Amino acid sequence: MATAHSLFASSLRPRRQLLSKPFLFLPIPLHSRLALISGRNLGNRARVYAKKGFRGRGVSPSSAVAVDSSTAAAAAAAAEPEAKVEKERVVLPTNDSSEKLLRIRHTCAHVMAMAVQKLFPDAKVTIGPWIENGFYYDFDMEPLADRDLKRIKKEMERIINRNLPLIREEVSRDEAEKRISTINEPYKMEILESIREEPITIYHIGNEWWDLCAGPHVVSTGYINKKAVELESVAGAYWRGDEKNKMLQRIYGTAWETEEQLEAYLHFKEEAKRRDHRRLGQDLDLFSIQDDAGGGLVFWHPKGAIVRHIIEDSWKSMHIKRGYDLLYTPHVARSDLWKISGHLDFYRENMYNQMEIEEELYQLRPMNCPFHVLVYKRKLHSYRDFPIRVAELGTVYRYELSGSLHGLFRVRGFTQDDAHIFCLEDQIKDEIRGVLDLTEEILLQFGFDKYEVNLSTRPEKAVGSIDIWEKATTALRDALDDKGWEYQIDEGGGAFYGPKIDLKIEDALGRKWQCSTVQVDFNLPQRFDITYVDSNAEKKQPIMIHRAVLGSLERFFGVLIEHYAGDFPLWLSPIQARILPVTDTQLEYCNEVAIRLKENNIRAEVCHGERLPKLIRNGEKQKIPVMAVVGPKEVEMRSVTVRSRFGVEAGTMKLDDFISRITDAIKHRSSF
């Protein structure tokens, strides 16, 4: 019988999944990928994608460990295709960076509407804006099928080929009403009623079709590259976004300046689909949303729960080290509390209905802030007590329309990594800087080192004096300057209760996700009348700072899944090592290995019942970082034969050495 090592080697030659046209960054280690696609390398909003790539994921240089010359040769052979990767890249412009692109997309929406009404004369048009990656248009018409999109696209190409001019016309309101009545377009009439400015502007495509529009557009349809336009999907959309109104047919399209940009965008979509956390959550058995329990309510399965446990433990440890006190507060409270906080006045549509308990009304909490204020109010504070920092992983409940729910990204119950700091005016800057340092420390450990930062200032309607607003805003700005982070000013974009800093993290695809926020609050201290005694024995109102680093644990977990494509680093992986017997006769020793690993805080499991090649393939599909094969030789030598997640064999090693190696890799958060 062949030894386990020879079986392992023959069945585990590096396998590569073939994507039709994968991105350049797929086989590159995560830190390199982040550097490659960082928007800041090519302007704040630019994304970089490969024009052409190669198969699947290869050997990570940081994880390949050669234990003998044959293994080193195998690793080199597996890595060889990387040297042949074509380096040409395509920079995808945005509507903000390219006015030409914005004009193309806006014109494409009109061309599509014209094409639809040529093919479906009874269709009524509504609105058709440009959006982040293209355009859409809503129609009141019979439901469309995918085959209809092909017909519409062909008609659009005919219109583009005719090079029809886009003609701007100004008319009076009466004239606009007359024309709309003539063509019987009720939605246009409703749109006209909402337009306050005069004259009314109309854009014509040739002399065949027109729409109410403020522009801008290209000069003529011939300026559109028909090979850089694609119709993507059809969806239902309520008129004006109100579920009480009629359901419309929304056609989504994408448009770019060149074919290469379209190709890069389609690659991006393909990769985003591969990383979709909803599919990976099911495939990897991480979480689910059960219809029997209701939409938007997340069930964390054992593997997902262990990742959450790691996140929470790390979060708590870092906060305790930085002087935060941990809290646990109730999930419900008397409705009077939400009246005091103002949530019932300003946030009612996002809150669940009240429940009656012993003739009193109670409310599920939509936020944690009022509870933390109550903890502060439990006793009288002196100015010497400040700063006071409290933190909680608090679950909140918010009503969301069923149509807006989206995996882990939009749910009805979620846990916020919430914290509040009570401090004096002259402590704001230092406390904000401390929050920024903590934010960076937490995000870096999960592989996020590219951020988009915004500082939002006082809106027209605000509580608190202008003087305190200026002091707080200056403190936020100074903290950002001290930190050395680039940021943009959002004039007037602050909350009514105070200025704020918002931070978006950039994932492996260059997408931005809103996670961290720091907000100064002048409202709740006033509403709850919280005070402290100053050095003159007078009562004063402290400054309250809201802050979250991860935001929602559910949403952050979804971002993590997509960032890593479910292929978590060793230290974070739900299962760090899987032990595979060649035959069931090695099961007893495999179980001993698993016990030893668990005793050393290594998350391990034994998997058997199939032939070894299938066990290995299953481990790869489940993205297990390390697999250890055990055959008769390994039992005899008290050893294991090890393969890393990238298909690289680390060879046969004694069990104690294996435990030492994997423990060290986990400790240093490196690959095995």
Q: Is 418 a catalytic residue?
A: yes
Is 427 tagged catalytic? no
What pLDDT score was predicted for residue 114? Answer: 97
Given the DSSP bridges, would you call strands 639-644 and 649-654 parallel, antiparallel or unpaired? antiparallel
Q: Tell me, yes or no, if 546 is annotated catalytic.
A: yes
DSSP secondary structure string, 348-387?
GGGSPPPEEETTEEEEE-S-SHHHHHHHHTTS--BGGG--
Please give the sequence-ordered ranges of beta strands (E in DSSP) within 500-542, or none if there are none.
500-506, 512-521, 532-533, 539-540
- End-to-end distance of the chain based on CA atoms, in angstroms? 30
pLDDT at 17: 32
* pLDDT at 118 (0 to 100): 96
208-237 residue pLDDT tens: 999 999 999 999 999 999 999 999 999 999
Residue among 500, 511, 563, 643 flagged as catalytic: 500
**Average pLDDT of the chain, as a whole number:** 86
How far is 421 from 524, CA to CA, in rounded Å? 13
CA distance 556 to 285: 17
The three-class DSSP label of residue 3 is coil
Catalytic residue among 188, 261, 303, 369: 369
Burial of 483 from C-beta contacts in 10 A (0-12 / 13-18 / 19+)? middle
pLDDT band at 463 (very low <50, low <70, confident <90, very high): confident
How far apart, in whole angstroms, are the C-alpha atoms of residue 551 and residue 532? Answer: 29
Q: Rounded mean pLDDT of 103-122?
A: 96
Which residues make Cβ contacts (< 8 Å) with residue 233, sequence separation at least 6?
149, 251, 252
Q: Which of 416, 427, 519, 576 is catalytic?
A: 416
Q: How confident is the model at residue 404 (pLDDT cuts 50, 70, 90)?
A: confident
Assess contact for 579 and 605: CB atoms under 8 A.
Answer: yes
pLDDT for the residue numbered 349:
87
Q: Are 70 and 648 in contact (CB under 8 A)?
A: no
Residue 24 vs residue 672, higher pLDDT: 672
Tokens matching residue 41: 């390398």
Q: Confidence band (pLDDT; 50, 70, 90) for 647? A: low
Residue type, 244: K
pLDDT, one tens digit per residue, over 514-538 is 999 999 998 899 999 999 999 999 9
- Whether 491 and 459 have beta carbons less than 8 Å apart is answered as no
Q: Where are the alpha helices (DSSP H) in 120-145?
A: none
Whether 52 is catalytic is no
How many residues are listed for the chain in this entry?
A: 672
**CA 210 to CA 205: how far, in whole Å?**
6
Among 89, 106, 546, 603, the active-site one is 546
Share in percent of the chain as helix, strand, coil (round to 5): 40, 25, 35
Question: What value does the CA radius of gyration of the chain take, rounded to a whole number of Å?
Answer: 29
Catalytic annotation present for 607: no
Total Cβ atoms within 10 A of residue 100: 13
**pLDDT(38) > 70:** no
Give me the pLDDT at residue 303, please: 97
- Residue 411 region, left (φ>0) first, then alpha (ψ -120 to 50), else beta? beta
Could you tell me the CA-to-CA distances from 410 to 400, 404, 546 in Å, in that order?
Answer: 8, 7, 22
Alpha-carbon span 462 to 542, nearest angstrom: 18
Question: H/E/C letters for each residue in 397-431?
Answer: ECCCCHHHCECCCECCEEEEEEEEEEECHHHHHHH
Which run of H or of E encompasses 254?
A: strand 247-255
Query: How far is CA 147 from its chain centroid?
Result: 32
DSSP 647-669: S-EEEEEEHHHHHHHHHHHHHTT
Cis-peptide, bond into residue 81, ω within 30° of zero: no
Window from 78-92, 294-308, 559-573 with minimum mean pLDDT: 78-92
The predicted structure's pLDDT at residue 393: 97
pLDDT one-digit tens code per residue, 602-625: 999 999 999 999 999 999 999 999
Least confident of 185-189, 258-262, 412-416, 459-463: 459-463
What token pair was written down for 39? 């928007």
Strand order of the sheet with strand 360-364? 332-334, 360-364, 355-357
Are the beta carbons of 318 and 441 closer than 8 angstroms?
Answer: yes
* Residue appearing with tokens 């939002």: 456
- Per residue in 472-498, pLDDT (tens digit) is 999 999 999 999 999 999 999 998 889
- How far is residue 312's CA from residue 220's CA, in Å, rounded to a whole number? 56
State the pLDDT at residue 223. Answer: 95
What's the average model confidence in pLDDT over 549-576?
A: 96
45: pLDDT strictly greater than 90: no
Q: Catalytic pick from 188, 226, 277, 420?
A: 420
Model pTM above 0.75? yes
Residue 88: per-residue pLDDT: 59
Mark whether 336 is an active-site residue: no
234-275 confidence digits (pLDDT tens) = 999 999 888 889 999 999 999 999 999 999 999 999 999 999
Q: Is 385 a catalytic residue?
A: no
**Run of H or E residues at 149:** helix 146-161
